[in-house]
Amino acid sequence: MTFELERKNIEEEWAGTWNSTTTPVAYSNIRGIVKGTSILKNSTGLDEWARLEIVNASSDNAVIGGSSVQHVGTIVVNIFVKSGTGTDRARELADIVRGIFNNASFDGIQCEATYLTTVGDIEGFYQLSCVTPYSRRQ
């Protein structure tokens, strides 16, 4: 599996459940935030949004002397809700993310347990990060 196919498979798994019309999403190297079939210039006027990032880490030979390579990385979904509105909606969205990636297996990608970290208030939004380590073989 190539890095491009890895990205495609993860984004398709995400898009199969996440409703970008209700909660828009930013993707790596796309200018703007995707809301349904539209692309918004920024988060102005939004009450909530998310950002999906695929962070590649290391690659190692799966077997000494073999040609199989194991790639590991992390799927990070940053969740943003308006500051001062509490954490209920942010955690509800985090549960949706967990339902998509937690211990999931799809298209040759094996996800591990999803965990949640609190980033806090940044530029008018309260942020949580859902982190899911994953691996795949090539």
pLDDT of residue 113: 98
pLDDT of residue 66: 67
pLDDT of residue 74: 98
Cα separation, 51 vs 130, whole angstroms: 10
Strand partners, 54: 75
Strand partners, 73: 56, 134
- Tens of pLDDT along the chain (138 residues)? 889 999 999 999 999 999 888 999 999 888 899 999 999 999 999 999 999 999 999 877 766 776 778 889 999 999 999 999 999 999 999 999 999 999 999 999 999 999 999 999 999 999 999 999 999 987
Cα Rg of the chain, angstroms: 16
Cα separation, 71 vs 134, whole angstroms: 8
Q: Phi/psi class of residue 29: alpha, beta or left (left: φ > 0; alpha: ψ in -120 to 50)?
A: left
In 81-120, which positions are buried (b, 16+ CB within 10 angstroms) versus exposed (e)?
Answer: bbeeeeeebbeebbebbbebbeebeeeebebbebebeeee
Residue-range domain boundaries for the chain = 3-137
Domain 3-137, architecture per CATH: 2-Layer Sandwich (3.30)
